[in-house]
């Protein structure tokens, strides 16, 4: 423990965000991080409570509680407090090879399970401590290519370069296997690159990491659509093992009249078009789907809905309405959702903060869905009929469903973004390898091994849409299974 009385002496302090209206002017990250010395003080708030729920990563109350990577949080908090940044980096990298991603986009399951949070009401700033460690590591030149000292002679193809693919590639390469990553996009990163917007994760952060991985010997082949432009059978014959990490990007659609209106599109297609145009040409190519001058309807909440709100505001939308199907969550934990469970409470994310600053209102309306999209004479979206819903318990299953109330209103809009979740992976890659799917549309596997001899799978493709931190954990565990298969034992 760094400082025994730290949690009593110091208040929680986090990075400051740029003023909401000012940050709408661009797509840059908008946090000003604490100076390193201040972060040391924050690390002193860690109580080293003895039972670190923060790093447990276990299922409590049907949801994960604590860090799924089992990051050694109290250990590196103490090292930060003592100013031993290089040692802290080593302890962090022991469990998390990509802290620059998690420290920017992770919802911080660790902080929700922090004992100091339970005792004092304000958890240790674990995520920002993690950020300070890794960025100090880069700034000091401690994070650099370290190729494996020897090679095993075995080869692995990783299909998909999202966080799961990067994670599995990283571990297998460090073990000495020759790793080739196949990616259908022209930039690696998966949803880190083309889902999560630049203001949340600057894309240079991904490029910086991929360069190191390339220098360590991993080959990235981009523009390769396996199962379409690349033959799956050739890969299974050529490589000793193949790992499918293609994500779960099949979007849930809305089967309502007017769905074919011009101006109704899936959220990830919208977000991808914006980031691609930003990176390709600073928007001069005109290829981004634009919300400029439009009233925008976002259907669905979560990270995706919020990212659509932040993006539309930056593009200059004239109004924003966000439909949430479920009832508004409580402001505080209920008795049935105690610490250290993940708190199922109402959150205000950056998109809503910015909407309040821009339009003076939270864009969310709860218990609603679209009943119909309205088109003008030329087939373009000009409005949506929104219907209110109410919860109703199904006596047969005991589940609560949201059912229409019949009460509606019309919202004039010219762009509608469907962020209603995902229904599993795109079938064609799994089909190309002969890998079966579960009823939820995910790849079937036992311990990450599919029913095909040398084919493995992990990440969202296996577990369904989840979080970056879970994709990294799946990549780590899957790499150990692949290593075991290739070598007959594993030390991963
Ligand atoms: C808009 C949005 C915002 C999100 N925000 C957050 C957040 O803030 N925090 C968080 O923790 N999580 C967030 N998530 C979830 C998180 O991004 C995913 O859980 C995570 O990226 C899954 O990683 P993955 O590697 O399994 O799949 P993906 O990231 O989806 O990567 C799959 C990769 O496989 C490639 N691929 C697919 N098929 C083929 C093929 N046949 N051949 C070659 N390549 C192929 C794809 O192009 C892609 O690059 C968000 C998700 C979305 C949609
Ligand atoms: S990866 Fe996420 S849950 Fe784990 S320590 Fe970092 S912020 Fe917390």
pLDDT one-digit tens code per residue, 85-94: 999 999 999 9
pLDDT tens-digit profile of 274-327? 999 999 999 999 999 999 999 999 999 889 999 999 999 999 999 999 999 999
DSSP calls for 222-243? ES--BTTTB-HHHHHHHSSEEE
Distance (Å, whole) CA 210 – CA 150? 21
Q: How far is the CA of 194 from the centre of ligand 2 (A)?
A: 22
How many other CB atoms sit within 10 Å of the CB of residue 425? 29
Q: For atom 6 of ligand 2, which residue has the closest CA? A: 127
Same fold, 6-139 and 155-249+423-487: no
Please name which of 410, 348, 411, 415 lies closest in space to residue 381, comparing C-alpha atoms.
415
How many other CB atoms sit within 10 Å of the CB of residue 144? 10
Mutation pick for ligand 2 pocket among 127, 340, 342, 472 (CB with most ligand atoms within 8 Å): 127
Kindly indicate whether the domain formed by 6-139 is annotated with CATH number 1.10.1060.10.
yes
How many other CB atoms sit within 10 Å of the CB of residue 95? 19
Please name which of 28, 34, 42, 43 lies closest in space to residue 16, comparing C-alpha atoms.
34
- pLDDT > 80? residue 362: yes
Q: What percent of the chain has pLDDT over 70?
A: 100
**What is the CATH T-level fold of the domain 155-249+423-487, as seen in this structure?**
FAD/NAD(P)-binding domain (3.50.50)
pLDDT tens-digit profile of 132-159? 999 999 999 999 999 999 999 999 999 9
Domain 264-418 is classified in which CATH homologous superfamily? FAD/NAD(P)-binding domain (3.50.50.60)
Q: How far is the CA of 139 from the centre of ligand 1 (A)?
A: 28
Mutation pick for ligand 1 pocket among 162, 166, 432 (CB with most ligand atoms within 8 Å): 162
Taking residues 96-122, what's their average pLDDT?
96
- pLDDT > 90? residue 465: yes
Contact status, residue 232 vs residue 428, Cβ threshold 8 Å:
no
CA distances from 330 to 11, 111, 336, 345, 360 (A): 26, 19, 12, 5, 22
Distance (Å, whole) CA 270 – CA 418? 9
Angle between helices 36-43 and 126-139 (to 10 degrees): 140
Pocket of ligand 1 (CB under 6 A): 105-106, 159-165, 182-185, 190-192, 195-196, 224-227, 245-247, 249, 268, 271, 303-304, 307, 429, 459-461, 465-469, 471
Residue listed under structure tokens 């780590």 = 476
- pLDDT > 90? residue 26: yes
Distance (Å, whole) CA 174 – CA 131? 23
pLDDT tens-digit profile of 48-77? 898 899 999 888 777 779 999 999 999 999
Please name which of 109, 132, 275 lies closest in space to residue 206, comparing C-alpha atoms.
275
Q: How do the domains of the chain map onto residue ranges?
A: 6-139, 155-249+423-487, 264-418
* Total-model pTM: 0.97
Distance (Å, whole) CA 453 – CA 444? 13
Q: Which ligand is nearest to the CA of 65?
A: 2
């Amino acid at each position: 423990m760094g400082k025994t009385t730290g949690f009593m002496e110091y208040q929680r302090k986090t990075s400051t965000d740029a003023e909401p209206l000012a940050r709408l002017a661009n797509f840059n990250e908008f946090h000003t991080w604490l100076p390193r010395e201040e972060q040391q003080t924050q690390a002193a708030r860690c109580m080293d409570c003895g039972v670190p729920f923060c790093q447990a990563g276990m299922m409590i109350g049907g949801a994960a509680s604590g860090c799924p990577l089992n990051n050694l949080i109290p250990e590196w908090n103490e090292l930060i407090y003592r100013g031993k940044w290089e040692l802290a980096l080593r302890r962090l990298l022991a469990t998390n090879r990509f802290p620059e991603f998690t420290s920017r986009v992770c919802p911080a399951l660790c902080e929700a399970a922090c004992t100091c949070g339970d005792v004092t009401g304000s958890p240790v700033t674990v995520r920002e401590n993690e950020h300070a460690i890794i960025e100090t590591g880069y700034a000091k030149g401690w994070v650099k290519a370290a190729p494996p000292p020897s090679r095993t002679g075995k080869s692995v193809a990783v299909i998909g370069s999202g966080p799961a693919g990067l994670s599995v590639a990283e571990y297998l390469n460090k073990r000495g296997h020759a790793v080739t990553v196949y990616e259908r996009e022209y930039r690696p990163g998966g949803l880190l690159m083309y889902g999560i917007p630049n203001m949340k994760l600057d894309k240079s952060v991904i490029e910086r990491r991929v360069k190191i991985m390339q220098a360590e010997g991993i080959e990235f082949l981009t523009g390769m659509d396996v199962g379409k432009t690349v033959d799956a059978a050739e890969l299974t014959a050529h490589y000793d093992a193949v790992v499918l990490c293609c994500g779960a990007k099949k979007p849930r659609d809305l089967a309502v009249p007017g769905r074919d209106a011009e101006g109704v599109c899936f959220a990830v297609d919208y977000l991808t078009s914006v980031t691609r145009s930003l990176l390709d040409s600073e928007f001069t190519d005109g290829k981004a789907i634009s919300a400029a001058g439009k009233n925008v309807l976002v259907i669905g909440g979560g990270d995706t809905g919020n990212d659509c709100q932040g993006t539309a505001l930056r593009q200059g939308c004239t109004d924003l309405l966000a439909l949430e199907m479920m009832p508004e969550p409580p402001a505080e934990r209920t008795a049935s959702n105690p610490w250290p469970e993940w708190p199922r409470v109402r959150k205000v994310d950056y998109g809503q903060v910015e909407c309040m600053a821009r339009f003076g209102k939270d864009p969310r309306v709860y218990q609603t869905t679209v009943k119909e999209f309205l088109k003008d004479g030329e087939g373009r979206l000009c409005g949506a009929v929104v219907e209110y819903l109410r919860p109703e318990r199904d006596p047969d299953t005991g589940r609560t469903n949201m059912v229409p109330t019949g009460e509606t209103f019309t919202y004039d809009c010219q762009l509608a973004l469907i962020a209603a979740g995902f229904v599993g992976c795109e079938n064609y890659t799994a089909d190309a390898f002969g890998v079966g799917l579960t009823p939820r549309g995910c790849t079937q596997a036992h311990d990450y091994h599919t029913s095909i001899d040398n084919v493995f799978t992990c990440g969202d493709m296996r577990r369904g849409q989840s979080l970056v931190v879970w994709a990294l954990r799946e990549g780590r565990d899957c790499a150990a299974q692949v290593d075991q298969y290739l070598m007959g034992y594993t030390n991963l």
